[in-house]
Amino acid sequence: MNTVSLEQALAITQGALQRGKEMSAAPLTVAVLDSAGVLVSLQREDTASLMRPDIAIAKAWGSIALGRSSRGLAEMAAARPGFMQSLNTLGEGKILPAPGGVLIRDENNLIIGAVGITGDLSDVDEACAVAGIEKVGLKADCS
């Protein structure tokens, strides 16, 4: 199975946090999950609130579980709220449909993981995720 490596996950996390600093973002929390939805890296900036790790993981986990970004999941939730509620029940509450969860694709366009970021506005979270992924030469999928 192709999956994001620890080295890549750590570099993605650092790249995302660096982009957050460049954007003057609020304190961020960044989670990187592998293609099986297992946590590889989690970093929380000082003063980020207590629930931020769970939120970041849920954004990434939902993306892996359903094969689309958490922005796509938010659009799905708006269009079909009952269906999204059912999916979240099946996923034991681990899906958070808000932008900031971005799929990681390799050079063959295979999903090898996902990044979940929280702490600022969802669009800022997503931009930081994309920057981290692209920093290591992988493809960010926000669809």
The pLDDT value recorded for residue 1 is: 57
Closest C-alpha among 114, 113, 116 to residue 43: 116
**CA triple 23-28-30, angle to 5 deg:** 115
Position 12 confidence tier, pLDDT thresholds 50, 70, 90: very high
The pLDDT value recorded for residue 18 is: 99
Model confidence pLDDT, tens digit, residues 82-138: 999 999 999 999 999 999 999 999 999 999 999 999 999 999 999 999 999 999 999
Please tell me the number of Cα atoms within 13 Å of 17 on its side-chain side: 19
Domains of the chain, earliest start first: 6-141 (3.30.450.150)
Query: What angle do helix axes 122-135 and 6-22 make, rounded to 10 degrees?
Result: 130
The residue type found at 31 is A
